[in-house]
Structure 1
Amino acid sequence: MALYPARPPAYITPMVTCLIRAALAAALILPLCFAPDSVRAQDEGREITLSAKQKTLVRRVETYLNGITTLQSTFFQQASTNEFAEGQIFLSRPGKMRIEYKAPNPILIVATGEFLSYIDKELKNVTHIPVDDTPAAFLLNGNIRFDPKRVAFYEAAEEDGAVFLTVGERADPFAGRLTLIFRTNPMSLRKWSVVDAQGTITDIVLTDPFYGGQIDPKLFTVPEFEQTRSGD
């Protein structure tokens, strides 16, 4: 069943106001140790106080994420509602991102700095959302930091060659949660899982991520369709 969002989907607005939401089919693509994260994201119910070891792990994640300049990858996305989609993601930090879903899904998402644009190519309509009001703000920021004053931690663990970090918004613990999954040796972001305020889980897997390459700046151009701004 394909994803056909009629409005900006949940992963653009609520999240753990921390990161993008877009994509997966993990159990089919990554090793077994990456398969259970949807369940993990559901099960991690209580906020934790980070131990010294866990704080070091969080710093490792921050250092790794801040080291990402560009990323391009195909992705698969699957929700617990049995919705499925696939496409391509392009990231150029700071500030730029493109998520393009594979046809026949008409959705294109482009961040160019101040705004994130949600484009329906079929309806030829563009909706602009302030980047700071979206999960994308976290990843597009020039300095990524999990500030304990703003971020609640629910899991920080390293096991079986993988790192798992689950976070949420401290100001709104019911907004949702984000689980980031990394491979180690070398460290590489491979997957993330988002649980929104309604309890819907969306898993995303990057199938062939390439970091540090050149990306055509034209990919971050927003089509000139009929345009509106969120809240208008």
Structure 2
Amino acid sequence: MHSDTPAPTTTAGETGAGGPARLTVLAGPTAVGKGTVSADVRERYPDVWLSVSATTRQPRPGEVDGVHYHFVGPERFDDMVAAGELLEWAVVHGRNRYGTPRRAVEEQLAAGRPALLEIDLQGARQVRATMPGARFVFLAPPSWEELERRLVGRGTEGPEERERRLATARVELAAEPEFDVVIVNDDVHRATDELVRVMGIEPAPADR
């Protein structure tokens, strides 16, 4: 599903005013670069608020609790689910659980701040059910071969985990038609600029 109506734009460094903002959801297959694009948004467009997911998996090298993820134990995650504290949650790759803390998202949207939620396909479907007014963006690889190369090159998974993630990626790629907008991640800065345009922010000339 593709939207034909462009979002109203502001220049980089400005945010909309006068009412709640619209949530933008970024999803795509594993290793497509969702985290890299989100980090580029965080660095170059500080007015965009990025949701920080909770997860039961262990931190990867360089990841900081509260910045990249909220790393929690299984019991704490269970409590968050039971208390309705998560906007969405899912078991990813058949192993670890990820979820989006609801309160922070609602507070940022109510304040009128552009908000970006980077999640997996399962989570995106849950958000569509609970927040159908959100904007859904699918980040796609230039090709299957490039996606496989990125996953192997990342070097953070063993052979079995890599095959599991590739199998998941095949299923995730087939979900592309469910999204409002598709952005091909063939260049991080270009993909980031296209994403913020979709969010209604016009990149500054120096960022083009």
Taking structure 2 as the reference length, the TM-score comes to 0.31
Q: Which has the higher contact order (CA 8 A, sep 6+)?
A: 2
Taking structure 1 as the reference length, the TM-score comes to 0.29
Higher strand share: 1
